[in-house]
Chain A
């Protein structure tokens, strides 16, 4: 499978990338890890005339805590997350998700920024970032702007990034005592997209009352989805298995999966419910351990 011909431009700074982008307009595509774009180009679903390689722009590959915020540079790879001590110690949800993305060799190339910018509801980071209530930082020729994750996913492969924007950073409120997160997905085999995936980020107080909760779903809705009704059912209440069961039931009801090779609509609703229950419990376990 040979992609269509294109011209290749390597940007070494953001400014240089914007200059190329403005010159080539609609005919150009940014390339980061290439593990969504290149497969699409090989299938000729995508035939950009110009590729602007942003993968060597310096200073966009980091995972750090600063001013009460966890900051992840857009070019951070899934393998960087998987092997990060900071993530292992304080953000295990990010280790959960990276380990479930693709396979070990894919993770060496795939970037977190690309995973979000691609705007694919089958990708795993969108649900996680919804659960974590992330802020997405984009930079374009006219400067930087913030996009709350709830406004980021617009439709089928469509995001709130403007034409020449480069997603540069993902910001997540730093974890604190009582906070725990988890991600899990059902996949047919390693490297497959989720049949369903559930991300939960939960904060409880010492009496197990839910202070804050985020729940995001993967691949059971046309766009990555927050389960607002389940979050409302939990927030301010003391966690019990009965309540968790109720939140799971809501997730199964409120998502909108389509039948495909991965299963029927009913099956997907049913595993979304079960996964939600399990993932809330896992997040709760971690939240309690942090108190």
Chain B
């Protein structure tokens, strides 16, 4: 039996009837056509599907859409504000925090949640902080540097973000 859900994604509210077994990542990618959120493993390990659910980073391949009824979700598409990149996006670009880019949306969403709990992290803390997300290209070094640099910037300026 289908269920009606209302979910706010990046500031826009959507109401739809969905099958209870519809995974949140499929709702985001297929129903809303927001394909920035990726599917890497489909087994809860890689973090490519990471989004923010009421501000917390979660793996959207391991959540049913019906569980998110009434929630606020942020995906990578919501990071840019007023035509300006978020400091994390800026830093990933500047410090080559990506190569193929497949892991990047999930990595960015995870980094937002991580920096919320720990705005001034050490390198080791960043490595543990992004241990939910796999990258097969960069060897992580530039991702860690990018997050470090973004954190510096974010400590200086108040950042407007849907998250």
> Chain A: residues with CB nearer than 8 A to chain B?
1-8, 10, 31, 34-35, 38-39, 41-42, 51, 53, 55, 79, 83, 102-106, 108-109, 190-191
| Shortest Cβ distance from residue A5 to the other chain B in the assembled complex, whole angstroms | 6
Is B38 engaged at the interface, CB distance under 8 Å to the other chain? Answer: no
Give the distance in Å from the alpha carbon of A216 to the alpha carbon of B42 in the complex: 33
Q: Given known contacts A34-B63, A105-B58, A105-B59, is B43 in contact with A39 (CB within 8 Å)?
A: yes
Which residues on the A side are within 8 Å of B67 (C-beta)?
31, 34, 53, 55
Binding site for A on B (CB under 8 A): 1, 3, 19-21, 23, 42-45, 47, 50, 53, 56-59, 62-64, 66-67, 69, 110, 113-114, 117, 128-133
Closest to A190 in B: B131
Distance A105 CA – B1 CA, assembled complex (angstroms): 30
The CA-CA distance from A35 to B62 in the complex, in Å, is 7
Which residues of A have CB within 8 Å of B20?
5-8, 51
Contact of B64 among A8, A35, A83, A108 (CB under 8 A): A8
User: What is the CB-to-nearest-CB distance from A29 to chain B, in angstroms, rounded to a whole number?
Assistant: 12
Q: How far is the CA of A134 from the CA of B89 in the complex (A)?
A: 46
Query: What's the minimum C-beta distance from A28 to chain B, rounded to whole angstroms?
Result: 13
- Inter-chain CA distance A131–B43, complex, in Å, is 31
CB distance from A122 to the nearest CB of B (A): 15
Residues of B within 8 A of A79 (CB): 56
Assess the A104–B57 pair: CB atoms within 8 A: yes
**Shortest beta-carbon distance, A197 to chain B, in Å?**
18
Q: Within the assembled complex, what's the spacing in Å between the Cα atoms of A51 and B130?
A: 31
Are A42 and B63 touching (Cβ within 8 A)? no
Chain A residue at smallest Cβ distance from B106: A105
On whether the beta carbons of A39 and B62 are closer than 8 Å, the reply is: yes
- A34 in contact with B58 (CB, 8 Å): no
The answer to whether B131 touches A103 (Cβ under 8 A) is yes
Q: What residues of A have a CB within 8 angstroms of the CB of B21 in the complex?
A: 2-6, 41
Contact B56 A8 (CB under 8 A): no
User: Complex formed: what's the CA distance from A53 to B58 in Å?
Assistant: 18
Q: In the complex, what residues of B have CB within 8 A of residue A109's CB?
A: 58-59, 62-63
A2 to B27: give the CA distance in the assembly, Å. Answer: 13
Say how far A244's CB is from chain B's closest CB, in angstroms: 29
Across-interface contacts of A2 in B (CB, < 8 A): 21, 23
Q: Are B57 and A105 in contact (CB under 8 A)?
A: yes
Asked whether A191 and B56 contact (CB < 8 A) given A38-B64, A109-B62, the answer is: no
Closest 3 CB pairs of A and B: A103-B132, A8-B20, A190-B131
From B50, B57, B64, B110, A34 is in contact (CB under 8 Å) with: B64
Q: Which residue of A lies closest to B49 (CB)?
A: A105
The residues of A that contact B132 with a CB separation of less than 8 Å are 102-106, 190-191
Q: Which residues from chain A contact B58 at a C-beta distance below 8 Å?
A: 105, 108-109
Q: What are 30 contact pairs spanning A and B, CB under 8 A?
A: A1-B43, A2-B21, A3-B21, A4-B21, A7-B1, A8-B64, A31-B67, A34-B64, A34-B67, A35-B44, A35-B62, A38-B44, A51-B20, A51-B64, A102-B132, A103-B132, A104-B57, A104-B129, A104-B132, A105-B47, A105-B50, A105-B113, A105-B132, A106-B44, A108-B58, A109-B58, A109-B59, A109-B62, A190-B131, A190-B132
CA distance A53 to B69 in the complex (A): 12
CA distance A34 to B60 in the complex (A): 11
- Tell me which residues across on chain A come within 8 A of B131, comparing CB atoms: 103-104, 190-191
